[in-house]
Structure 1
Amino acid sequence: MGVHLHSYRAAARSAALLLCAAGALALSGCAGARMTPAEEERAATDTLCEDLGGLRMDAGKLADLGLTTTRLDDVRDLRDDVAYALDTVTHSAQRVGKAKADAVTEAYDGLARAIDALPRDTTGAQAAERIRPQLEALDQAIAASQASVKC
């Protein structure tokens, strides 16, 4: 039994040494695999493009209001989803200078004001019709931002 315990401890020490060595190699490998400025810019642009696509999808849900909802609270919940997606876009656009994210933010602000102005008894279909111009402006702003960074 003492030999078995000794073998276990030796194996554990060997495994620990192997793990430490692998960790050291991994860390030294990470330092050598640093991204170039061009790669960092491309990665930032890719992230922004993904975020703009997500924003466009969330805004699309507002365009489909008459099909998916009948309550104004649902419309406002969807607006909040779009606001969250816009925050994500704004954050990722900070790393990409030519993103034209300000126009996207302005278009969202117009949409949010239009939703806030809807009467309490507005149905989903009525809301979709009333906010269509603001949704179109937001979609155009997103498309312009996507084009500016060549998504």
Structure 2
Amino acid sequence: MSQMTATARVQAYPRPSRGRGSAAPARPPLRVVHAAPAAVGHLWYAVALGGLIIGGLLLMLMLNMARAEGSFVLSDLREEHAALHAEQVTLETEVADLSSPSTLAEKAEDLGMVASPSTAILRLSDHSLVGVAAMVANGKTHTVDLPGARSADEVQSAGE
């Protein structure tokens, strides 16, 4: 108790008179009051709080490590993408070179093909022949024999 409340309580009781004839209320008997029990230490609270802090720090460390690993993987993938893009550009250039008209003409000559003096086109939408095909000047022809295919003579004799 503080001094202020102790003083206030003492003053709350009327002072007994020194004479024997007065009837003053009896004071309660005094007793010894022990100190307040020691507060239970906040050890468990401190341990729990410390555990949460350490756990949070470990979680942040794990997330940071995963993020760093992801950035290394991303860097490797970017390098691989650049290499594949360079290879794609090289292959596209090679295909463009191989499909150019001059390269195709050289390959056709190597196979024994000759250029046609005129062009005839078969239009598939209405099955009509546009243009007139002319024979090559020196009479060279190139026949391709496919297995299972019928020759023009066989087709003509079957139609009769």
TM-score with structure 2 length normalisation? 0.31
User: Comparing both chains, which one has the higher relative contact order based on Cα–Cα distances under 8 Å and sequence gaps of 6 or more?
Assistant: 1
**Greater helix share, structure number:** 1
TM-score with structure 1 length normalisation? 0.33
